Amino acid sequence: MALEVAPAEEGDIDRLMEIQFSAFESDPYHDALFPGDHYAPSTRKAAGDRTIMEWRQDPSARFIKCTDRESGVILGYAKWNFYETERPREEWAKSPEVDWYSGRKKEIAENFLGATAAMRQKLWGGDPHYLLNILCVHKDHHRRGAGTMLVQWGVVRAERLGLRSCLEASPAGYPLYLRLGFRQVDTVVVKAADWDGSFDRHYIVMLKQPEEFTSVTAHER
Ligand SMILES: CC(C)(COP(=O)(O)OP(=O)(O)OC[C@H]1O[C@@H](n2cnc3c(N)ncnc32)[C@H](O)[C@@H]1OP(=O)(O)O)[C@@H](O)C(=O)NCCC(=O)NCCS
């Protein structure tokens, strides 16, 4: 069945949240970002509202969806950030702030988000690049090519401008990115002691240079 990728619309938000909560069902990172009972409509509504707010406020954000042409069902979505020009330090050097938790949970969530943010600041800083920020496909529709199409959509556009594509891979996403030519440049380690006391979480930082580029210049400040 043919799949297609197109810009998502705000009216798609309920389905996008359904997809996101299904894809990240057992992911503690997702729980830090979107707390609450995953199946409660109020949790999804709150998540959808916050996503829409970020969507409207962030001019670099591109929300795209992958749809089954025949049935019209949205299978997955991605959020890319297009950073096409050099950004000022006050824009990229900000620490993430969590206002959806308080107390210890807020501390844990900020620590978690802070680990990723610190890595992005160290490696990419204000340099132009495209960032794959969210990628999720509904669990009922895995392994049909939707994830690949949503990644390729951004990579092709980055390459047209001679820009690199960057991401932090979950274990589920890693083989897909590797297959598409991304390579590992670093690892974000989130200490379990600060999280749930079990194993440390590793997110592989990956990069795909446009074809004509041969060397990586890590951003150092
Ligand atoms: C990671 C994720 C987005 C992949 O989505 P997906 O739509 O299943 O991805 P694809 O179908 O394009 O590719 C997945 C695999 O299916 C294979 N595949 C693609 N089309 C296929 C088809 N028609 N038939 C059989 N296999 C197929 C691909 O070759 C790929 O194999 P690989 O993992 O060995 O590389 C999805 O598993 C997901 O949402 N996971 C949870 C959230 C998550 O971790 N997101 C990534 C955050 S970094």
Handedness of CA 192, 22, 32, 150 (dihedral sign): positive
Task: Give the total number of structural domains in the chain.
Answer: 1
Helices and strands, number each (H, E), in the chain: 7, 7
Q: Does residue 215 form part of some domain?
A: no
pLDDT surpasses 90 at 220: no
In a domain, 32, yes or no: yes
Cβ–ligand 1 distance for 182 under 6 Å, the answer no
pLDDT band at 19 (very low <50, low <70, confident <90, very high): very high
* Matching residue, tokens 């107390």: 103
In order of 93, 103, 195, the CA distances from 132 in angstroms are: 18, 30, 24
Query: Is there a domain that residue 213 lies in?
Result: no
Residues linked to residue 79 through DSSP beta bridges, in sequence order: 63, 134
Can you give the pLDDT at residue 13? 98
Domain-embedded: residue 47: yes
pLDDT for the residue numbered 194: 67
Residue 221 lies in a domain: no
Q: Is residue 177 lining ligand 1, measured as CB closer than 6 Å?
A: no
CATH number (domain holding residue 169):
3.40.630.30
Nearest to 220 by CA among 97, 119, 145: 119
Residue 30 resides in a domain: yes
Nearest CA to ligand 1 atom 4: 147
**Dihedral angle over CA of 141, 176, 154, 187, nearest 10:** 120
Domain coverage including residue 73 = 3-208
Mean residue pLDDT of the chain comes to 91
210: pLDDT strictly greater than 60: yes
Q: What Rg do the C-alpha atoms of the chain give, in angstroms?
A: 17
**pLDDT bucket at 111, cuts 50 / 70 / 90:** confident
Which pLDDT band holds residue 218 (cuts at 50, 70, 90)?
A: very low
147 close to ligand 1 (CB < 6 Angstrom): yes
What are residue 70's phi and psi, to 5 degrees? -70, -50
Query: Would 153 be classed as within a structural domain?
Result: yes
Higher pLDDT, 31 or 137: 137
Nearby residues of 29 by Cβ (< 8 Å), 6 or more positions away = 112, 170, 201
